[in-house]
Structure 1
Amino acid sequence: MAEKGFSGNDVHGVDLEARQNKLANDVTYADEQQPEDGVRPLHQKLKSRHMQMIAIGGSIGAGLFVGSGGALYRGGPAAVLIGFGIVGIMLLMTMQALGEMAVLYPVNGAFFTYICRFVSPSLGFAVGWNYAISWLTVLPFELIAASITIEFWRDDIHMAVWVTVFLVFLTAVNIFGVRGYGEVEFVLSVIKICACLGFIIFGIIVNTGGIPGDDRGYIGFRYWKDPGAFKNGFKGFCSVFVTAAFAFGGTELVGLAAAEAAEPQKALPKATKQVFWRIAFFYIVSLLIVGIILPSDNESLMGASGANTKASPFVLAIQEAGVKGLPSVFNAVITVSVISVANSCTYGSSRTIQALATKGMAPRFFAHVDKHGRPIYCVILQLAFGLLGYLGEAAEAGVIFNWLLALSGLCFFFVWLSINLAHIRFRAGWKAHGYTLDQLPFQAQFGVIGSWIGLSLCILALIATFYTSVWPLGGSPDAEVFFSNYLAAPLILACYLFWKVYAKDWKLYVSAADMDVTSGIRRGSIQATLEPEKKRNPVVRFLTAFF
């Protein structure tokens, strides 16, 4: 027999209301917490439309439009679809877990804070700094990539000129604080989404032989037979995962943005559910189209990487169809996408470092928030890293940036793994303190099982990447290749051990009984669970769980 109040018709009745009153008495609301040492709170100016666009298109960038070409060349079209699909499922589970915690605790630092509270401060320190360093080093890389896209039209202008132009643009965006970030992401995400939809329609027309001048006629799945659906066997398949992680990376920024959202209890559930659409259409369908209209043995794909935008499989597919003018349009979309990711770099690193500083895990002055709600010193640090973009003119620029990007290669897998682990531990702590699931304003659709699935897939992806790092595709074991692919792992381990020793934090994990589950809740979040649920058709309820 179910315990009273846990299920049944009284879920929204007296018993729940009584338990809500008890929870409300235990809660320390975010607006009641005293700022640490006079640190101002971040401004809450992001609207629902900003949050949804950050979720749908915030990380669609060079990873999808360019990096996927290298994955197609190494693994083949079927390996790309399966690899991106696996990472997509992993991300879907992760975002559900993050959404549940972020709606209840829309706190500064989001997942970094959850890892510290529900898993271990040492792991939070390690993951937080790795995440911040990743965004710091990705910014100059994106500035160079954006400059290279301009060479599609003009190769007579110095790269340093365009690095300066884009860096000035990012500086101007950050003058307007979080609202500037939100508005820019909204506009750029709309452009990227329209481009993806347009390419899907274009690809269907190409595949069915509807392009005048394209003598291939009906293509179907011709290229899945020759050169083949899979290339380089199992090792080729395993090589797809890092590319997929880089392409999907940034989705978790929705969790960071929760602290600056006007109504997270309304905006975040909608944004979280948008992840399904993004994975299904803007990644999987786009890559399916690319894989059927562009042969994976196209030699131009060999150099496809985030910085070599000339090897974009999307642009190459358009050129293969013989359509003039359209490659130029899509190159402009890639330029917009790269700038969007560069904008996200500044947001992701600055908010994470500011959160680290408020917990004493970074130099104290980084905790400062000015009167306009900007973590100004963190923003200055990120923009200063952008100056490394001028290294693109150096003779050894490729080697330098390969090692810089090695710091972020596996970052997203570790972040997503930690989010799932934090959600599993949070549920244990929530239960240990006597609270029930019906008291949560938003529940992960797949529950703890989904987090275990996400955690397991992260571990499998890390193992697959380790395999291809030790035994690289087309080569023998090489220390330089291994560390260029797997450097983030020893970095996280070093940070974890450093904080253990520095803080004398000898506990392996935070016990459920010792967890803080009642502070940082935004006023109105727990009260939302008392609102009567509208009766809907079960089919509609199932669909809305995803859409």
Structure 2
Amino acid sequence: MSDGKPAVGVESDVEKGLSSPTNSQSESEKPSAPGQTERQETGTDGQGTVTDVPKEVLHRKLKGRHMQMIAIGGSIGTGLFVGSGGALESGGPASLVIGFILIGVMLFFTVHALGEMAVLYPVRGSFYVYSCRFIDPAWGYTMGINYALNWLTVLPLELTAAGITLNYWEGAKSVPISAWIAVFLAAVTVVNLFGVRGYGEVEYVLGITKITAVIGFIITGIIINCGGVPTDDRGYIGGRYWSDPGAFRNGFKGFCSVFVTAGFAFAGTELVGLAAAEADNPRKSLPTATKQVFWRISLFYIVGLTIVGLIVPSNEPRLLNASGGNTAASPFVIALETAGIKALPSIFNAVITLAVMSVAVSCTYASTRTTHALADEGMAPAWFGYVDKHGRPLFSLAVALGFGCLAFINQAAAGESIFNWLLALSGLSQFFTWASINLAHIRFRHAWKLQGHSLNELPFRSAGGLIGSYIGLGFCLIVLVAQFYVAVSPLNKPSTAANFFENYLGAFILIPFYVGYKVWSRDWSLYVNLAEVDLDQGRRDLDLTEELEKEREERRQWPAWKKVWHLFC
């Protein structure tokens, strides 16, 4: 926390969630140019007179294509390509698909809820700021710390996983993992030195690569399942593996165990909302990007994993090693190897390596923007908020890359144990983040109605509305309960205190931050007064009623097919 106590009353920036200047519509619509500054009200001229001091800001350089690729392919890595193998082994193909569908439905509503708020308030810190503003400053602060810690601890995991993926090739095994970690960490550093535009371009290229690879795998998987590969002596497979060894494994506990893997695989879906503050035109690019999350859920996860469950048996011994970046245990690689297709397993392994690097870059982006926003709201040391003239939060970046160096801990004797406990700190982070987004949206909608606003004033409306957010919040709570059950009685592990906290430490780590903020701020209210929240602060567009009505009138004239297309694209 910073040295000074932030105001948490009705008039405070913390409660209002202010993160961007909103003086006028014409000024706010202009994208930030290099060196563009905003004014802060503290500073002196050296003689005790208070003056405006220029402050560098994050640049708005993410184009529509960047936002769309962040939504579709961003942060897809080991959770899908490797971790899904462990979920297949523990829960079976039916549990794998059903678990991912349920989490996917929850994420669909969650991202739409986030998109509605982010289009209206494209502020730095996004969902953490919305929690401060519409729920409670202490809860918002806790969610900001939770989100930053999540990505800070995942970064060394992804760097290690990237190194492990290279061990798939015999020629790379002679090189120590630490050397590969150093190479990948240097690459992540270089990408981040190019600022937000560098992040956008890398995600765009790697996103296209991942999309192409998954579509190629789906087509290949269908051919394998139909017996169309001459080198595969299994012939026609069909639904054979759903009968033997079976659709479900390890009963209800096996089904519950899939949820955490699904949560890890879907992690980062909300990044499109975090990037809103650096989008050049969020009102145009964010709705499209938000709606395209549907294709990410459907294509990558549901269709891709359905194919995996059809052509890889859940009792395949190699799946037992599905941890970290061990791509030899990836069900995608196993499927291609079992079919005897030359070269394709190596190609897909290369795609996984690039996907892991993509996640590592996203880790750095997410953590730096969150810590920067925390500092900007007076909830973290002020130096985290420093931004250079190129729009890079350098001190936040230095801390993130410092956490990346924790990847080298794996080389120590007790490295694996230390690493597991570091990861346990953020094991449930995503579900708390998603629950908070839905709750913030629910309270935002109530505040919007309470203060006499109409839904027609919203530039973008969530496809699920309030009901969708209640469903999303309910799903998150159910998953947290299911994970508590698995933590108390782990699958294929003894019920010990160590195993419990390895699975559920992420929930308990939030308590000291929440209580600590309450004690520090001396504000013991449980939630903000929605009638007193300033709904105009933080809006980049203050009055779009006439323009929005013209757009809606135009859409009413569209044919049915175009309306359906617009719903998902």
Same fold (TM over 0.5): yes
2: CA distance, partners of 1:163 / 1:274:
33
Give the alignment partner of residue 93 of structure 1, picking from 92, 100, 109: 109
Give the alignment partner of residue 327 of structure 2, picking from 279, 297, 309: 309
2: CA distance, partners of 1:524 / 1:432:
18
C-alpha deviation, 1:524, in angstroms: 7.4
Q: Please report the TM-score for the alignment, with normalisation by the length of structure 2.
A: 0.89
For residues 189-208 of structure 1, what are the structure 2 equivalents within 5 Å?
189-208=207-226
Q: For 2:463, what is the secondary structure of its paired residue? A: coil
Aligned alpha-carbon RMSD (Å) = 1.5
2: CA distance, partners of 1:281 / 1:116:
34
Deviation per residue, 1:97-143 (Å, 9 max, x gap): 00000001000000011000011111111111011011111111111
C-alpha deviation, 1:306, in angstroms: 3.1
1: CA distance, partners of 2:559 / 2:40:
46
* Alignment-derived partner of residue 295 in structure 2: 277
* Alignment-derived partner of residue 4 in structure 1: none
2: CA distance, partners of 1:505 / 1:67:
42
2:515 paired with 1:497: yes
Is the 8 Å Cα contact of residues 227 and 297 (structure 1) preserved in structure 2?
A: yes
Deviation per residue, 1:28-62 (Å, 9 max, x gap): 55857844655422100000000000000002111
Give the alignment partner of residue 88 of structure 2, picking from 52, 64, 72: 72
Deviation per residue, 1:70-120 (Å, 9 max, x gap): 000000000000000000000000000000000010000000110000111
* Alignment-derived partner of residue 457 in structure 2: 439
Q: For 1:247, what is the secondary structure of its paired residue? A: helix
* Runs of 5+ unmatched residues, structure 2: 1-21, 29-37, 43-52
Instruction: Decide whether aligned partners of structure 1 residues 431 and 441 sit closer, same or farther in structure 2, where only a CA change above 3 A counts.
Output: same
2: CA distance, partners of 1:543 / 1:504:
50
C-alpha deviation, 1:388, in angstroms: 1.0
1: CA distance, partners of 2:277 / 2:399:
21
Is the 8 Å Cα contact of residues 56 and 278 (structure 1) preserved in structure 2?
A: yes
* Alignment-derived partner of residue 178 in structure 2: 160
Is the 8 Å Cα contact of residues 28 and 521 (structure 1) preserved in structure 2?
A: no
Give the alignment partner of residue 164 of structure 2, picking from 148, 163, 173: 148
Instruction: Decide whether aligned partners of structure 1 residues 29 and 84 sit closer, same or farther in structure 2, where only a CA change above 3 A counts.
Output: farther
2:563 paired with 1:544: no
Is the 8 Å Cα contact of residues 143 and 167 (structure 1) preserved in structure 2?
A: yes
Is the 8 Å Cα contact of residues 120 and 541 (structure 2) preserved in structure 1?
A: no
Instruction: Decide whether aligned partners of structure 1 residues 428 and 524 sit closer, same or farther in structure 2, where only a CA change above 3 A counts.
Output: closer
Which residue identity lines up with residue 479 of structure 2 in the other structure?
A
Is the 8 Å Cα contact of residues 536 and 542 (structure 2) preserved in structure 1?
A: no
2:394 paired with 1:376: yes
* Alignment-derived partner of residue 14 in structure 1: none
* Alignment-derived partner of residue 173 in structure 1: 191
2:145 paired with 1:129: yes
Deviation per residue, 1:466-495 (Å, 9 max, x gap): 100001113442111111111110111221
* Alignment-derived partner of residue 53 in structure 1: 69
Which residue identity lines up with residue 360 of structure 2 in the other structure?
A
2: CA distance, partners of 1:85 / 1:409:
20
Quick one: percent identity of the two aligned structures?
57
Q: Please report the TM-score for the alignment, with normalisation by the length of structure 1.
A: 0.93
Q: For 2:538, what is the secondary structure of its paired residue? A: strand
Instruction: Decide whether aligned partners of structure 1 residues 368 and 505 sit closer, same or farther in structure 2, where only a CA change above 3 A counts.
Output: same
1: CA distance, partners of 2:210 / 2:85:
18
2: CA distance, partners of 1:29 / 1:410:
40
* Alignment-derived partner of residue 328 in structure 1: 346
* Alignment-derived partner of residue 230 in structure 1: 248
* Alignment-derived partner of residue 20 in structure 1: none
Give the alignment partner of residue 104 of structure 1, picking from 106, 120, 123: 120
2:281 paired with 1:256: no
Number of positions where the alignment pairs a residue of Structure 1 with one of Structure 2: 521
Give the alignment partner of residue 238 of structure 2, picking from 220, 235, 239: 220
C-alpha deviation, 1:465, in angstroms: 0.6
1: CA distance, partners of 2:230 / 2:285:
45
Is the 8 Å Cα contact of residues 55 and 272 (structure 1) preserved in structure 2?
A: yes
Is the 8 Å Cα contact of residues 103 and 525 (structure 1) preserved in structure 2?
A: no
C-alpha deviation, 1:434, in angstroms: 1.7
* Alignment-derived partner of residue 17 in structure 1: none
Q: For 2:248, what is the secondary structure of its paired residue? A: coil
